[in-house]
Amino acid sequence: MSVFFIQHKNFMIGILALLSASIICQIILGVIYRRLIWESEHMSTTTDKSLQQLKLKFSGCYKLNEKISNIPVFVDKYLGNIKLKGISLTTLKHLSGQLMLLAVLVAGIGAFLGIIRDDSFLSIAPFYIISFAGLYCYFAVASLVDIPGRLNILRINLVDYLENHLANRLEQTALDMLAVQPDAKAADDKQPEEEKTARKGSGVFSAPEMEELELLLQEFLT
């Protein structure tokens, strides 16, 4: 076997490098999704920037459109846009599979060249052994990491939070603001005309307006 590796050094380096890169991609995806699942279970205190952006975007869309009719689609779009160093996680998942197929292809080319040179079966058998061993390792790691399962758990956690927690909180905030507005308007009407003109010209918020602003800020920060 050692003689085989020496004779086909370039092929072996290429095959092993591709196999290793493919498996590493799977492990990286597993670690990322595991962290996101943990963060999604603590959304109120999450420090993950992508999840914070999701909350802010959802809040903005909810307030502009009064509601979001299809929250699962909103979450699916977010999941499809998660990136690692500018590379989409979906792309990374596909890249892992492509690297594995490329490793098998390189092994096939090596075996084919051996057949053309009329090498013995023992000389080309290691190419097949490495291919099967690589495929086994790849699917074993993929099964342990279980990307589809973790992605589904993450999706359920996010839909549950947005639909049953954040949406209700935003709706309650909107109702509180509607309740505050008549009181603010009545208080403003009682003020002298000169005071109202000076306040408008200076751009200073009234007490009710400051309360509304604080409520909005609390919703964005929690």
Angle at 29 between CA 45 and CA 14, to 5 degrees: 155
**For position 180, what pLDDT does the model report?**
62
Do the Cβ atoms of 59 and 219 come closer than 8 Å? yes
The pair of structure tokens assigned to 84 is 């690692």
Phi then psi dihedrals of residue 131, to 5 deg = -60, -50
- The model's pLDDT over 14-61, given as tens digits with 9 standing for 90+, comes to 888 999 999 999 999 999 999 999 999 988 888 888 888 888 888 887
Contact 134, 15 (CB under 8 A): yes
